[in-house]
Structure 1
Amino acid sequence: MDFPWFDIQHIIVALLVLLRVSTLIILLPVLGHQLIPMQVKIGLIVLLTLLIFPIVQNQVPTIPINPIVFATIAIQEMLIAGAIALFAQLIFASAQFAGQLMSFQMGMTVANVFDPITRSQQSVLSQLTITLAMLLWVVVGAHHMFIHTLIDSFSQFPINHVWSFSAFMELTDAAALMFILSLKIAAPIMLLLTFVYIALGLVSRAVPQIQVFFVSFPLTIGLGLLTLALGMPGIIYLMSDAFTTLSGQVPLFLRHLGS
């Protein structure tokens, strides 16, 4: 009986597959979350590695048994997985940035909470938008799409393949779309409260006896939360559409990377 696992080339390929799989799982927004038990992450990584390795073991050219060569290819595998996960992380960054914009416009920046994930102070609305993004991530099945993309990545960009750096334009475009998505989410509140601040400024000039500073806080927070509630269907649509477009954006990046 033949035991391919004892072939040094198969062991090297298995380790490289393990590196790409583990890096992607750890960096993905929901699957790599700190609240997910480490045992579950390890089990998923080992399961995917065992499923993918038989598919790619005979497709990888012979890799020289050299520590420097292996380290170079290993770094490349981790960078590829990190680039794939970055597409999803940018959407979550958009949700967080939009929450920060809305909090700043509503005057709620002082009502921050400690985020154990980033170990920094985050606004309440940022926590709300990130939680909403996590729920939509599961609802639209984005985690399934990324696992499918991970499996296809070994055929679209095999191990030890030459990079095409023109593909990184896809990452820059995704980063630009991050700011556009943030502005789309926060636009209703920002636009409404801008007019409210203009109106309050005119009132303070016309009637100086009114304490506009004390009137503005409950007014802007109330109108902001009301606008957020009314615009929630639009926010859900924008985030869901952003997650859905990843199914075409990430494979396009891999094709350009391996072209």
Structure 2
Amino acid sequence: MAAPGFSTERTPVLMRLYLSIGLTLSIAPPLMEKFTTVFLHSDPSGMLATILVEMAIGVALGLLARFYFLALETLAASVAMTFGLGNIFGAPIMEAEAAPALSTFITTSALTIVFVTDGHFEIIRALYGSYDAAPILQGPGAGGLLLELTRALSQAHLLALRVCSPFLIFGLIVNLGLGLLSKLTPQIQVYFVASPLVILLGLYAFSLLYADFFTAFSSHFRMALND
């Protein structure tokens, strides 16, 4: 219920609950022997503690994947500002707060491509593999989970910065040039006159690179989940 796409407010809570139950039932049979061995030697309080620990690990895995889209949304908002589209807000899709329309378009498109390329199965595979990486009653502990979340957050922002860097560099060069031009011709409102051109050039640059942009994000997202 914390994974990207499933945790959005556009997905009804009841549907998220049904998806969680269905996923639990689908991966439970291969793991039944491990759980049976643990629960046969546990009292009710121990069983409850085990369930809570496994729930915490599942939420952490969902957050690990969601960090990549949160980082992409943050950097995409910066890209929208460099294009001069930061004040044009669109309908929120993944989050409750309104975001620039270009940022919403980028994050929604990235999420769609991840689902189309079966990237969501990588999340399920990571969930199933977590019982081998962190066996029951031998989990990473709170410190280990925080360390993994911190590492994932760092990698997510690095990936988002990597795929958005061409547009950020474009915005830096264009705004630097406009600033110098404004100093040379203070009588002309350079930023006001050049705003349509900046928007047009920014969208044109995005149209040239969008395929590589989404391909790089999708492939690195899958690689990160496999790690």
TM-aligned CA deviation for residue 107 of structure 1? 2.4
Partner of 1:223: 201
Partner of 1:65: 44
Report the AA paired with residue 101 of structure 2: V
TM-aligned CA deviation for residue 232 of structure 1? 0.7
In structure 2, the CA distance between the partners of 1:167 and 1:44, relative to structure 1 (3 Å rule), is closer
In structure 2, the CA distance between the partners of 1:241 and 1:197, relative to structure 1 (3 Å rule), is same
Report the AA paired with residue 192 of structure 2: F
In structure 1, which of residues 229, 242, 255 is the aligned counterpart of residue 220 of structure 2? 242
In structure 2, the CA distance between the partners of 1:37 and 1:171, relative to structure 1 (3 Å rule), is closer
Matched ranges for 1:243-258 at <5 A? 243-249=221-227
- Structure 2 residues without counterparts, runs of 5 or longer: none
In structure 2, the CA distance between the partners of 1:53 and 1:125, relative to structure 1 (3 Å rule), is same
In structure 2, the CA distance between the partners of 1:214 and 1:161, relative to structure 1 (3 Å rule), is same
Report the AA paired with residue 239 of structure 1: F
Quick check: 1:31–1:143 contact (8 Å CA) kept in 2?
no
In structure 2, the CA distance between the partners of 1:120 and 1:167, relative to structure 1 (3 Å rule), is closer
Partner of 1:119: 96
Residues in 2 aligned to 1:53 and 1:181: alpha-carbon distance in whole angstroms: 33
Residues in 2 aligned to 1:123 and 1:159: alpha-carbon distance in whole angstroms: 43
Quick check: 2:67–2:152 contact (8 Å CA) kept in 1?
yes
In structure 2, the CA distance between the partners of 1:202 and 1:39, relative to structure 1 (3 Å rule), is closer
Partner of 2:149: 171
SS of the aligned residue for 2:90 comes to strand
Quick check: 1:98–1:185 contact (8 Å CA) kept in 2?
no
Quick check: 1:95–1:182 contact (8 Å CA) kept in 2?
yes
Residues in 1 aligned to 2:158 and 2:170: alpha-carbon distance in whole angstroms: 18
State whether structure 2 residue 159 is matched by structure 1 residue 181: yes
> Percent sequence identity over matched residues?
25
TM-aligned CA deviation for residue 178 of structure 1? 1.9
TM-aligned CA deviation for residue 43 of structure 1? 4.0
Instruction: Give the alignment's TM-score, normalised by structure 1.
Output: 0.75
Residues in 1 aligned to 2:179 and 2:122: alpha-carbon distance in whole angstroms: 50
In structure 2, the CA distance between the partners of 1:159 and 1:226, relative to structure 1 (3 Å rule), is same
Instruction: Give the alignment's TM-score, normalised by structure 2.
Output: 0.84
Quick check: 2:122–2:222 contact (8 Å CA) kept in 1?
no
SS of the aligned residue for 1:127 comes to helix
- Structure 1 residues without counterparts, runs of 5 or longer: 1-25, 250-259
Count residues with an aligned counterpart. 222
State whether structure 2 residue 133 is matched by structure 1 residue 150: no
Matched ranges for 1:1-259 at <5 A? 26-36=1-11, 40-60=15-35, 61=38, 62-66=41-45, 69-115=46-92, 117-163=94-140, 165-166=143-144, 168-249=146-227
Report the AA paired with residue 31 of structure 1: F
Bigger mean CA deviation after superposition, 108-117 or 79-88: 108-117
For the aligned residues, what is the CA RMSD? Answer: 2.4
TM-aligned CA deviation for residue 240 of structure 1? 1.5
Bigger mean CA deviation after superposition, 101-110 or 200-209: 200-209
SS of the aligned residue for 1:208 comes to coil
Residues in 2 aligned to 1:116 and 1:136: alpha-carbon distance in whole angstroms: 15
Residues in 1 aligned to 2:125 and 2:161: alpha-carbon distance in whole angstroms: 30
Residues in 2 aligned to 1:108 and 1:123: alpha-carbon distance in whole angstroms: 7
